[in-house]
Structures are given as C-alpha cells and as structure tokens.
Amino acid sequence: MKAKEYLYMMQKILHHIDEGVHVLDKNGNTIIYNDAMSKLEKMETKEVIRKPFGEVFKSLNNESSTLLKALSSRVTTTDLKQTYLNKDGKEITTINTTLPIVVNDEVIAVIEVAKNITKMAEMSHTILKLQNEIVKPEKTKTKRIRKYNFHNIIGDSNNFINVIERAKKASKNSASVFIFGETGTGKELIAQSIHYESSRKDKPFIAQNCAALPESLLEGLLFGTSKGGFTGAVDRAGLFEQANGGTLLLDEINSMPYELQAKLLRVLQENYIRRIGGTADIPIDVRIVTTSNEPTELILKYGKIRKDLFYRLNVIQLNIPPLRDRKEDIMMLANMFIHKFNERLNKEILSISKEAEDSLMKYDFPGNVRELENIIMASISMSDDNERILNMNHLSLLNNFKDDDIITPEIEEDGIDEYLAKLEKHLIEKTLKEYDHNITRTAKTLKIKRQTLQHKMKKYNI
C-alpha cells in the first residue's frame, strides 16, 4: 500500500471509532483531533488542529495535562479517570491513556486516547441514588450493627491477649488502625470495641465494605454527591460526613480500587472532603479503621494497596491470630456460645462430651470464631430439649468435615501402602470372626473370591 493510501485509511479509521484521539507533534501542535474527541470536548476540529495545544486549552498546564506531561517528561499515563467540564459546561468523565512516541531517543509525538464513560458514571450515580432511596443502605447498616465492646471479647491465650491490649491502647487516641485477620477472627468486633471505648463513642460508628461496590458507587457513597454535578445528582452526605466525629471502618481495604485509594489518601492528608460535583471543602474529623483478610506482605507485594496510603492507615497494626493458633480459646468460646444459644433456642445444654471436645480441639477452623459459633449454634438446635450434653452426633458440621479428612496420624506415620495393608488385615480378621471362620461367607461379604481370601490370609499370617 502506498503511504498516501495508508494515511487515508488511517484517517477513516480514526474518524469512525468511538474513542477520542488527540495527537500532538513534538512542538506541541495538534496534528490529529478526531470526531469522537471533538464531540467529547465540544471543540470544532478546526479550532484545534495545527494550533499549539497550550493556546487552545488555556486552563491546562504541564502539571494538569497528561499530553503536556508526556511531551515534556515522557510520562505514560494509563487508564486515568478524569472528570472535567467541557466547553458547554457539561461534566464529562473519561478514561484516558496518554503516551509519548519515542524514535531514536527523541519524542516525535504524543498520543491521547480517551474513552467517554460519562453515561456509565451517570448511571452508577443514578443506581446509587435509587439504592439510597429504596433501602437506605448506610442507615439500615448502622442500625443493624451490634454495639460490641471489649467486655464481649473472649480469649485467654497470650497471643490474643497481646492484640487486645494493643487495641485498648489504640482506643485512647485517634490514630489510624489497620486490622489484619483471617475471616471470622473478630476484626469487626475489635474495631467496634475500639470505637465504643474511645472518646468518640457518642458519635457514629459506620462500617463500609470496600469490595462490595464498583468504584464510582463507592466513591459517591464515601464522599457524597452534590446537586448539579451530573444528571439526577442530589445533595447527599457521604459516609465521611455521616461519621464525622466518630469512626469509619473500611472493610477489605485491599479491594478498594486504586484510583479511589489516591482520593482517600488525600482526604487523610488534608482532613477535608469535597462531594462529587461539589465545590465546598468540608472539614472532617474521622478516625479510620481498616481491615484486610490478606496478609500485609501480600497486599503490598501485589500492589493491592498504595504504599503511601498503607503507611497512613497502618499507624497501629493489629494482627489477630487465627483460632487454630490459639487453641486455649476454643473451649472458652464454645462455652460462651452454648450459653448464648441455650437462651436463644430455649435449650439447657450444660457441657460438651469429651469426644466432642477432642474433635473441636483437633479441628483447624478455616472460618475461625464465626465457624465455631455456627457449629455450636447448629449443634444446639439439633439437640433434644431434655439433653444436657453436646456430643459427636450434635456436632454435625464437624462430622461432615471429618469424613473428608482421611489423612490420619497413622497414614502419616506408616505411608499409605502399609496403612492399607494393616487395614485390610484388620477387616479380614474381623469378618472371619464374625462368620466363625467360614471362608465362603467371609469372602462373599468382602466381595472377593475364596482363593483371593485364602491367599491374603496366608500373606497376613491369619
């Protein structure tokens, strides 16, 4: 294909794609400005083309324009969400990627590709608004929340008590707390206890899960929205404002979108927020508690949390040990849960059988305290009204699990071949005894041939 034809084809492509494309040459003059970009920014192509970028977009400078940044410092920006007003004063949200084209170590052009996601952003906010009107999520959530304090926390093991001591110290100040623990270890319990023990106790405690919502919804929920910011926007306070003076628990911070993490960082640095689409800076005083069920090394290693944000959040770190690493607490918690569910389910269980206790102590509780609580609740609900002792039959959930767990200490010691041989010998002896050494009936019961049975009896010296 000739260069001229090629150019013509490229132009056609550029003008028919949905993404906005804006290209500057090395002197900062616009050489490509396609239809999609022109629609997005409400600028005529002729107002922009062959003109110096700085002259056309007067409000932008080297810092605020990704194109100029790419030109002057070769900075590549990938998938940056930008919200700005176009020439008609309409708020536009785009996802931009900007990169320099470098040939022989010289920047010959810079390219910006912009995807218009205004509709999507508006839609998210509409959903948020509707959701807010229908279910009022934050409000129901705050009401539903049980007020826990340190008296509700059970545990006697050293590693757990250490954590609780540190948590109690944390309640004396307002420093950010980062709580790590597997699921069901009591992160929320500890976060609430810190709040209700602190001087903020008469102000709200609000919890929000960062993994539950897409970025734009979460952003609106946290920072609030302002009327006129976008179609259908209403004046609505975000969780930061609602929690003012109190504590905001951000659960699963490792799942918070990266872009939003930058905004959160700014709030923590500056102590004020700005509602989406709003202009006023609203001062806030909120203690932040964050949780993660992934270890900090991993979330830092895989970049799930910005380092600068992490250092702000991790002023006090609490690592709650999993239940299997504090076995002393198992029976203490079990007894507390027995008491709790006796009352709730109208039963009178007094204790746990030795066998049931042993299996609880052996179990490794992947779901931690919450799983123990569920096991006890299910067991109690299965007991009869006149029963006083929880036994293995009641511990149904554990039983289910144990069926799968065939790696016994014997297998670990003997290896599988020897273990199976022992098992086989044992079964043959047992069945022979049952049928009074009748070979035919024993073979039939074990579903093997008479000769095979005799062969095995010889092998095992029976």
Binding site for ligand ATP (CB under 6 A): 152-155, 181, 183-189, 293, 333, 369-370, 373
Whether 53 contacts 28, CB under 8 Å: yes
Residue 392 contacts which entry, ligand ATP, Mg ion, none (Cβ below 5-8 A, type-dependent)? none
Q: How many residues does the chain have?
A: 462
Question: Can you point out the beta strands (E) in 53-197?
Answer: 77-85, 91-103, 106-116, 177-180
Decide: helix, strand or coil at residue 280: coil
Q: Helix 328-345 and helix 368-382: axis angle, to 10°?
A: 40
Minimum distance between the CB of residue 76 and ligand ATP, rounded to whole angstroms? 37
Can you state the percent helix, strand and coil of the chain, rounding each to 5?
A: 50, 20, 35
In this complex, which beta carbon is closest to ligand ATP, that of residue 47 or of residue 328?
Answer: 328
Task: Give dist(CA 57, CA 32) in Å, integer.
Answer: 15
Minimum distance between the CB of residue 356 and ligand ATP, rounded to whole angstroms? 20
Residue 183 contacts which entry, Mg ion, ligand ATP, none (Cβ below 5-8 A, type-dependent)? ligand ATP
Which residue of this chain has its Cβ atom nearest to ligand ATP in the complex?
Answer: 186
In this complex, which beta carbon is closest to Mg ion, that of residue 185 or of residue 442?
Answer: 185
**Which residues in 356-386 are b (16+ Cβ under 10 Å) and which e?**
bbebbeebebebbbebbbebbbebbeebeee
In this complex, which beta carbon is closest to ligand ATP, that of residue 219 or of residue 373?
Answer: 373
Residue 56 contacts which entry, Mg ion, ligand ATP, none (Cβ below 5-8 A, type-dependent)? none
Minimum distance between the CB of residue 313 and Mg ion, rounded to whole angstroms? 16
In this complex, which beta carbon is closest to Mg ion, that of residue 179 or of residue 443?
Answer: 179
In this complex, which beta carbon is closest to Mg ion, that of residue 122 or of residue 188?
Answer: 188
Cα distances (angstroms) measured from residue 339 to each of 52, 106, 245, 430: 77, 75, 36, 43
The interface mask with Mg ion, positions 342-361, x = CB under 5 A, is --------------------
Residue 377 contacts which entry, Mg ion, ligand ATP, none (Cβ below 5-8 A, type-dependent)? none
Cα distances (angstroms) measured from residue 325 to each of 185, 285, 338, 369: 11, 37, 22, 12
In this complex, which beta carbon is closest to ligand ATP, that of residue 50 or of residue 147?
Answer: 147
In this complex, which beta carbon is closest to ligand ATP, that of residue 77 or of residue 152?
Answer: 152
Minimum distance between the CB of residue 184 and Mg ion, rounded to whole angstroms? 8
Minimum distance between the CB of residue 161 and Mg ion, rounded to whole angstroms? 21
**Which residues in 140-165 are b (16+ Cβ under 10 Å) and which e?**
eebeeeeebebeebbbebeebeebbe
DSSP for 123-155?
Answer: HHHHHHHHHHHHH-HHHHHHHH-----GGG---
Minimum distance between the CB of residue 338 and ligand ATP, rounded to whole angstroms? 13
# residues contacting Mg ion (CB under 5 A): 2
Minimum distance between the CB of residue 252 and Mg ion, rounded to whole angstroms? 8
In this complex, which beta carbon is closest to ligand ATP, that of residue 187 or of residue 236?
Answer: 187
Residue 164 contacts which entry, ligand ATP, Mg ion, none (Cβ below 5-8 A, type-dependent)? none
Task: Give dist(CA 224, CA 240) in Å, integer.
Answer: 8
Chain centre distance of CA 358 = 34
What type of residue is 269? Q
Residue among 209, 161, 83 nearest 318 (CA): 161
In this complex, which beta carbon is closest to Mg ion, that of residue 125 or of residue 187?
Answer: 187
Minimum distance between the CB of residue 291 and Mg ion, rounded to whole angstroms? 6
Residue 254 contacts which entry, ligand ATP, Mg ion, none (Cβ below 5-8 A, type-dependent)? none
First to last CA, the chain: 89
Minimum distance between the CB of residue 112 and ligand ATP, rounded to whole angstroms? 41
Look-up of token digits 């993404």: 19
Minimum distance between the CB of residue 187 and Mg ion, rounded to whole angstroms? 5
In this complex, which beta carbon is closest to Mg ion, that of residue 121 or of residue 320?
Answer: 320
In this complex, which beta carbon is closest to Mg ion, that of residue 13 or of residue 212?
Answer: 212
Residue 369 contacts which entry, Mg ion, ligand ATP, none (Cβ below 5-8 A, type-dependent)? ligand ATP
Minimum distance between the CB of residue 163 and ligand ATP, rounded to whole angstroms? 10
Q: Check residue 359 and report its DSSP letter.
A: H
Q: Which of the stretches 182-190, 294-302, 390-398, 417-425 binds Mg ion when contact is defined by CB under 5 A?
A: 182-190
Which residue of this chain has its Cβ atom nearest to Mg ion in the complex?
Answer: 188
188 counts as binding Mg ion under rule CB under 5 A: yes
Residue among 247, 261, 251 nearest 180 (CA): 251
Chain centre distance of CA 336 = 29
Residue 265 contacts which entry, Mg ion, ligand ATP, none (Cβ below 5-8 A, type-dependent)? none
Residue among 416, 419, 378, 418 nearest 399 (CA): 378
Look-up of token digits 């049975």: 453
Residue 256 contacts which entry, ligand ATP, Mg ion, none (Cβ below 5-8 A, type-dependent)? none
Residue 373 contacts which entry, ligand ATP, Mg ion, none (Cβ below 5-8 A, type-dependent)? ligand ATP
Interface residues with Mg ion (CB under 5 A) are 187-188
